[in-house]
Every structure is written in C-alpha cells, then in structure tokens.
C-alpha cells in the first residue's frame, strides 16, 4: 500500500523525523529559513498532511493547491494565527497545535524577560563586555523592583495563569483583563478582574498573553501606552502585532513607560534598522519563550503524532477545530 505523502517544513527533533519517515513518504525542508512561498506552494501539491511552523502561511490558496486529499495540518506551536482555520474547517481538515507542554516554559521565559528588563541585565552585561565598568556607583543601572508591585496580566489563559502563579512568590498584587472573566481561576489565586483601562492605569508590570486576532491587533497602541505609568514595564510573549511597534518606540523614547521586554515583534524577524533596536530600554529576544529542550521535544512529538494520526484519519491529540477532528 502507498504510504501517505507528508511535507515537514523544518527540522524538528530527529526521533520525531524518524517516526514521521517510518510512517509516511516524507518531504523534509531542511533549510534553517522557511521555504519561500512559491516553493511551499509547489511542494504541497498532492500531499496528505503538512507539519508547519508559525512562519508558514497556510491559507486557502495553499489548501486549494494541495488538493482535496489534504487530511491534516499539524502546527508545531500553540498559536495558529498563520493558519486560516475557517478555510480548513470548511474543507473538513483538522488543524493540530501543541498547547499545554509549553505553558510553564513560556511562563518562566516571561519572568526571565521581565526580570532582565526590570534590573537592566542585558544592558549592564553589554556595558561590562564593552570594557566600560570602571567602578561601583550608587546611581548606576538603577532599575525597578518587581516584588510587591501591581502585576497586570492581559489574557488569563493557561500561560497568563502560570505567570500569575509565579507573581504570588513576589508578593505582587495581581490584576487581570480578559474578554472572559475567569471566576474559576479567581477561586484558586488572588486575582482581581478589572477592565483594560483600569489595568493600564494601575499596573507597574503589564504582561501580554492574548491570542492574535482582529480584536487584539494593536490592542496596545498610543492611547493605551499613554495611560500606563512612567515606571511601568511591558512584556510581550504573545504575538508582535498585539502591540503597535511605532507607538511603543515613541513611548519608550519619551519615557512614557519605563521599559519593554519583547519575545515577539512585528514583523518577525525585526529588521536590522528598526529603531526599537537602538533603545536601551527595549529588550528583544527572537521568539524563544518555548525554547527549552524538554518543551521543544514535546512539541516535536505532539506535532509528529498529530500529523501521522491525521493522514491515517485518526483523531488528533490536540485539535484547534475539534468539530472536524477524526
Ligand atoms: C507558540 O507556540 O505559539 C509560540 O509562539 C512558539 O512556541
């Protein structure tokens, strides 16, 4: 019997590449950079399944070119804003993602970014490496305290909740805003539900954990940044376009807010000449919040299993559109 044809758009852990190639006819894109659009569109013709990344645009054009035999789209990420879910559902194609396994790792990374920004760790580390450290000085590299601060979380999902748990250990007051009030979580942790404006006005730290959709695009823009405290720190580990980058640059430059720590940017990667890169109070890392060995291994495993389950019309372990799961 012919094996199902699959396309994997980047290398994942070798064990899971082997698992896929044992169970399919595998076309693996091994380059570090994503396949260019025209190459991707050529490669999807006639495939039964695709394992893709958030850097691959999976839209109706691609699904049409792939053909009606396409049985599964397996994303190695929890977020799926690069995939047109409605189009996939219309075609009865289940879309897999990798939630849960990355929740704690991403929450840890949120705290790493926050602490580094609050205490100017990357900036002062550069200072030492550049040979500029001449003496201890009472006024050098003053930062912001995190303990006992008011910690505002936007998006109280799985990751937001894990970030909040960690804030308890720092004696923070936690306030949150979400489109859905989470009374179930309020019973477990001292979380206060507030509206967005109240959160922006009162928080010393604001951490973003929303999905990206039409409602959250530029959720943090000039108006919102103007409401924030001048000692506040904005952390974004959600998606770059949730923040208006130009407005953020102006707010950081004019010291309307104190610092930002970004795991994600708009666009990604951030262009080398982007003015945000010139600011000492803007810490930027290349979308690495889920990048621990253990978590990326688990993400590789789930996405590989979702792919092979899907091409065999078996139920995906984690499915974004369960109404069309097998
Ligand atoms: C995701 O999973 O959506 C992250 O952005 C990458 O791990």
Which pLDDT tens digit goes with each residue over 107-136? Answer: 999 999 999 999 999 999 999 999 999 999
From the CA of 238, give the closest atom in ligand 1. Answer: 5
Residue 222: active-site member = no
Q: What is the mean pLDDT of residues 19-35?
A: 98
Please say whether the beta carbons of 92 and 124 come within 8 A: no
Active site includes 126? no
Q: In testing the pocket of ligand 1, which one of 96, 209, 269, 289 has its CB within 8 Å of the most ligand atoms?
A: 289
pLDDT at 131: 98
169-194 mean pLDDT: 98
φ/ψ of 52, rounded to 5, equals -125, 170
Pairing of strands 72-75, 95-96: parallel
- The rounded distance, in Å, linking the Cα atoms of 3 and 23 is 7
Of all residues in the chain, the percent with pLDDT exceeding 90 is 99
Q: What percent of the chain has pLDDT over 70?
A: 100
Which stretches within 50-204 are classed as H helix? Answer: 60-66, 85-90, 103-118, 121-129, 158-168, 183-186, 196-202
Rounded Cα distance, 250 and 263, in Å: 19
pLDDT at 180: 96
Q: Cα(155) to centroid of ligand 1, in Å?
A: 15
State the burial class of residue 115 (Cβ atoms within 10 Å of its Cβ: 0-12, 13-18, 19+): middle
- Average pLDDT score, the chain: 98
**Per-residue pLDDT averaged across 237-249, rounded?**
98
- The phi and psi torsions of 225 (rounded to 5 degrees) equal -65, -35
Residue with tokens 């979702």: 306
119 to 2, 137, 200, 275: CA distances (angstroms)? 58, 15, 21, 22
How far, in Å, CA of 6 to CA of 51, rounded?
8
Which atom of ligand 1 is closest in space to residue 264's alpha carbon?
5
Q: How far apart, in Å, are the Cα atoms of 159 and each of 210, 240, 241?
A: 9, 16, 18
Taking residues 219-245, report their average pLDDT.
98
- Tens-place pLDDT, residues 281-298: 999 999 999 999 999 999
**What global pTM score does this model have?**
0.96
Q: Does residue 1 register a pLDDT over 80?
A: no
């Amino acid at each position: 019997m012919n094996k199902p044809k699959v396309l994997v758009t980047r290398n994942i852990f070798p064990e899971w590449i082997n698992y896929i190639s044992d169970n399919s006819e595998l076309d693996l894109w091994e380059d570090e950079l994503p396949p260019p659009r025209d190459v991707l569109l050529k490669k999807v013709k006639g495939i039964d399944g695709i394992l893709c990344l958030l850097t691959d645009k999976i839209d109706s054009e691609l699904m049409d070119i792939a053909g009606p035999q396409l049985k599964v789209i397996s994303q190695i990420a929890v977020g799926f804003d690069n995939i047109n879910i409605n189009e996939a559902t219309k075609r009865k194609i289940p879309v897999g993602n990798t939630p849960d396994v990355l929740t704690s790792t991403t929450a840890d990374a949120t705290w790493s970014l926050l602490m580094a920004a609050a205490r100017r760790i990357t900036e002062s580390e550069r200072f030492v490496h550049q040979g500029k450290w001449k003496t201890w000085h009472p006024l050098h590299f003053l930062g912001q305290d995190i303990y006992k601060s008011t910690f505002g979380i936007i998006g109280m999902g799985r990751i937001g909740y894990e970030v909040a748990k960690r804030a308890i250990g720092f004696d923070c007051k936690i306030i949150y805003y979400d489109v859905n009030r989470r009374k179930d979580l309020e019973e477990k942790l001292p979380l206060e539900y507030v509206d967005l404006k109240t959160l922006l006005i009162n928080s010393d730290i604001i951490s973003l954990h929303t999905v990206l959709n039409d409602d959250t695009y530029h959720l943090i823009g000039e108006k919102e940044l103007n409401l924030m405290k001048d000692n506040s720190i904005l952390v974004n580990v959600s998606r770059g376009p949730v923040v208006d980058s130009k407005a953020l640059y102006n707010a950081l430059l004019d010291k309307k807010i104190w610092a930002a720590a970004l795991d994600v940017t708009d666009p990604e990667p951030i262009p080398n000449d982007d003015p945000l890169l010139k600011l000492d109070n803007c810490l930027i890392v290349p979308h690495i919040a889920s990048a621990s060995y253990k978590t990326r291994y688990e993400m590789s495993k789930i996405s590989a299993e979702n792919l092979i389950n899907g091409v065999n019309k078996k139920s995906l372990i984690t499915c974004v559109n369960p109404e069309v799961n097998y």
